């Protein structure tokens, strides 16, 4: 299982299967433009393929004006 944690909200999710990050975010109804995706503490693009046992952290992006 792949574990995901939204750092800002302290929410955690688990998903099954090897696939791209964008597919995982869509499955969880999370807007890909609203998060920076981190694997092993390093930012990765949303088209990155993820193996099932990885731990993904999501950092919500805030903007204002």
CATH number of the domain at 16, please: 3.10.20.30
**Domain with 38 in it:** 2-60
Q: How far apart (Å, rounded) are the C-alpha atoms in residues 34 and 62?
A: 8
Is there a domain that residue 45 lies in? yes
Q: How far apart (Å, rounded) are the C-alpha atoms in residues 11 and 7?
A: 7
- Residue from 2, 5, 26, 27 nearest 16 by CA: 2
pLDDT value for 20: 95
pLDDT value for 53: 86
| Predicted confidence (pLDDT) at residue 4 exceeds the cutoff of 90 | yes
37: three-class secondary structure by DSSP: strand
Is there a domain that residue 6 lies in? yes
pLDDT value for 59: 95
The number of folded domains in the chain is 1
């Amino acid at each position: 299982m792949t574990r995901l944690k939204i750092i800002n909200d302290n929410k955690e999710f688990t998903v099954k299967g090897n696939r791209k990050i964008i597919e995982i975010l869509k499955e969880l109804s999370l807007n890909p433009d609203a998060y920076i995706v981190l694997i092993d503490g390093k930012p990765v693009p949303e088209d990155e393929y993820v193996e099932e046992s990885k731990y993904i952290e999501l950092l919500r992006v805030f903007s204002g004006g």
